[in-house]
Structure 1
C-alpha cells in the first residue's frame, strides 16, 4: 500500500513568517519519508484543493525549502475563502474529500486563523463520517494575535517589532520638525477587534515624551473630547503628538471610525482610512498641521526586520503539526506556552480545534492604562520578548533574497470543480 500523502495550505492574510511554518512542515515531513509520501501545497490556499491545483513540493530543492524560513508572505498563495457550513453547502466539503481520496491525502495541515481552524475541524469530522479518515491539524497564524489559548500567534511578533520601530523613527522625524512644521503624526495599524498590534507600538516609548503619546484600541470606545484634550496636551508639553490607531477603533455604539461600507469574503466589515479621518478631525478642531500613514501590507510583509523569536516559533508550530499528525493526534492545533519565571521561555502545547475555531481574543483590560490611551507595565512584560532578536534574510546587491518556487502542479485526476 502506498504511503499516505500530506496536504498543506495557507489561509487568510499572510505574515512575515508564515513561510517559516511551511518550512517546518515540509522539512519535518521529509525527515519522516518512511511514513509520509508526497507533501502537496494548495495553490492559493483551500481554493487549490477545491480546484485540484496541488503544488508538488517534492519538486523543490532542499535549499529552496530552507529559504522559505526567511521569505515573507505566502509562497504557495493564500486566499480569503470561507467554506460554507456543512448544512448550507455540503458540496464544497464533498469536493475536498474527493480530491483527498484521489491523491491519497490522509493528512491535512491548515495554516491560518480562527476561520481556518474551523474549516480543519469540520473536515476532520466529515472525513470520519465518509469512511476516509483524514488527520487534520491546525497551524496558528495571524498578525492580529487574537487566537485564544495560545500565548501568542506566529506572525504577531514580527509585525509588533515593525510597528514599534516605525513609530519610534517617525516620532523622531516629527519631533525634529514640529517647531515650524508638522505637529501631529497618525499611524494606522491592523487590528479589527483586538488591539494587540497597536499596543505593541507602545514599546517604542521608553521615557517621558517618547512616541507614541496616544494609542487607540478597539477594546476602548473612542471618546472624541477626551482624545482631543490629550492631543492638545501632548503638543503643549512635547511640541508634537504621535498617535497609533488600530483600524478597528470604534465609538461607544460599536460603529467603526473607518467603516468603508463593504464586507470581505468572510463577512467582516471592510475597514480603512481611520488615520486620515483622525488627522482631519485634529485639523478641524485644533488646527494642527499633520501627517498620517497606513502601515497596511508593509507591516505584515516586513521580513527584513522580523523578530527572531517569531521566526523560531513559526517554524516550531509547523514542525509540531507534522509530529502531532504522525503521533495520531487529530483536530488539534499546536500552541505556544509561556513558561513561568522572569526569564522568557516557551514550549509547544496543544488545543482542540473546536476550542479555537471562530473565537477572538482581545487584549486584557489590565494591559491598557486606566485612561485608555497607552499600555501598562504588565503589557510591556508580555510584548517585549516577542519582538526580541533579529533574523535577517540574506542580502545581495543591497536587497534581501527570497525563495522562488517552481510551483509544479500534480496531475489532475478529477473533473473540474463545479462552483455552481
Structure 2
C-alpha cells in the first residue's frame, strides 16, 4: 500500500462532468488504498487548510458524483503569481502538504491551473519534499493546449447544438408574423469552440445557425448587418450565435460588462446577445429575441455527452495512476487516434507544454466569410457530442443529484494570514 495522502483540488469554472472526474479520482485512489483529501473551494481551501476528508463519504455517493453537476468540493478563481511574487503562499501550500503527509497533488483545471501545479512541483523539488504533481484537464472553453479536446467541452457543445436547433425551430414557426432574428450568446473569451459547436445544429446555407460570430475574427458591424438582412430576405428569419468574447478590429470587447478583471486577468464579459439584438432592431427594424444561457451551458448535466463523460472519468483514473507511478509535472491528455470511427486514448504530456498556453480555433475550421464552420470543424466536433448519459430521475420528476458531507480534517497549522 502506497504511503501518504493524495490531495485533489478544483479550479476555475465548473463543468457538467467535473464531478465525474472527481469521482474517478477518488474511486481509483480507494482501489489503491490511498487516502484522498480535497481542498474546499480549490486552492484557496488548501491555503486555509480547509481539507475535506473524502473517506467520510459512502461509496455510493462517490459513484453518484459522476451524474451530479456543479463542483462537489467547490472551486475558486484564484491564480498564484510567480514563485518569487507569491513565495509566501507557495510555501504555505508546502507547509499544508507536510502537515497532512500529502505526497500526490492533483489539480483539476485549465491553463492557469496547470501553471500552478508546475510551480508547486518546482518548489517541492527546491525544498527536497517528495511530492508528485499532476494537472487534470478541465474547461468548457476547450482552449487547453496539447489535448485534442478537454473534458467539459463535449457536454457544453452538445447543450449548445441542441439548444440552438430547438430555438431555431421555434423562430421558424413564428417568423412570418413575429420574430425575424434570434441571437444566442455562447461562452468563449478568446476561443470560439463553443460558438463553433452551435454549427452542428444545422448543415447547409439556409440551416440555422445562419451566422456565427467568433472571437478569432474581428466584429464588423456593417458587414454583420448586411449578412443578417440578406439572410432574413432569403430564409425568412436569421439565427445568430455570438461568442461572448467577440472584439472589434481595435481589440475592444463588444460585451465588456465593466466589472474589471478577476485574479486570472480576465475581463468580466456578458451581454453581447442583448447588445447585438438592440443594434439589429435599431438598424434593421426587425423584431428580435435573444438568449443568454450563461451558467446553464456548463451545468446542464441532464444533456451531457456520453463521450465527454467517458473522457472525464478516464483522465481522473489516469491522473491517479500517473501520480502513483511518480510521473511528476504531467497531465493526462486526450489523443485522437481516428476520426472514422472515432477513437481516442489518454497519454501523459508535460505541464510545461500546457501551462499558460491557449488553443484557439484553427483557421481552416472557420468558413471563408468568417460566419460559420467548415467540414474539418464538423469532423472534429461531431464525435465529441455523441451519446447520451442522462442522470437517474426520481419520482418527483427531477434528477437524483447528491451532495457531500464535506467533513473537514483537523487543522494542524496556524491560520493563514490573509
Same fold (TM over 0.5): yes
CA distance in 1 between partners of 2:250 and 2:391 (Å): 45
Aligned length: 416
Partner of 1:7: 7
Specify the SS of the correspondent of 2:55: helix
CA distance in 1 between partners of 2:377 and 2:347 (Å): 22
Partner of 1:200: 197
On the 8 A contact 1:135/1:331 being kept in 2, the answer is yes
Partner of 1:373: 371
Match of 1:89 among 73, 86, 89: 86
The structural deviation recorded for 1:326 is: 1.1
On the 8 A contact 1:367/1:379 being kept in 2, the answer is yes
CA distance in 1 between partners of 2:14 and 2:285 (Å): 38
CA distance in 2 between partners of 1:311 and 1:2 (Å): 28
Partner of 1:314: 312
The structural deviation recorded for 1:133 is: 2.3
Match of 1:225 among 222, 228, 231: 222
Moved over 6 A (4+): none
The structural deviation recorded for 1:89 is: 1.9
Q: TM-score, normalised by structure 2?
A: 0.98
On the 8 A contact 2:2/2:32 being kept in 1, the answer is no
* 2:210 paired with 1:213: yes
Specify the SS of the correspondent of 1:400: coil
Q: CA RMSD in A?
A: 1.1
Specify the SS of the correspondent of 1:346: strand
* 2:77 paired with 1:65: no
CA distance in 1 between partners of 2:133 and 2:357 (Å): 19
The structural deviation recorded for 1:340 is: 3.0
Q: TM-score, normalised by structure 1?
A: 0.98
Gaps of 5+ in 1: none
On the 8 A contact 1:14/1:73 being kept in 2, the answer is yes
CA distance in 1 between partners of 2:85 and 2:307 (Å): 41
Partner of 1:326: 324
Gaps of 5+ in 2: none
CA distance in 2 between partners of 1:255 and 1:333 (Å): 34
Partner of 2:414: 415
On the 8 A contact 2:334/2:345 being kept in 1, the answer is yes
* Superimposed CA distance per residue, residues 304-338 of structure 1 (whole angstroms, 9 cap, x where no aligned partner): 00000000000000000000011110000000000
Match of 2:335 among 322, 334, 337: 337
CA distance in 2 between partners of 1:201 and 1:28 (Å): 35
CA distance in 1 between partners of 2:2 and 2:155 (Å): 40
Match of 1:305 among 293, 303, 306: 303
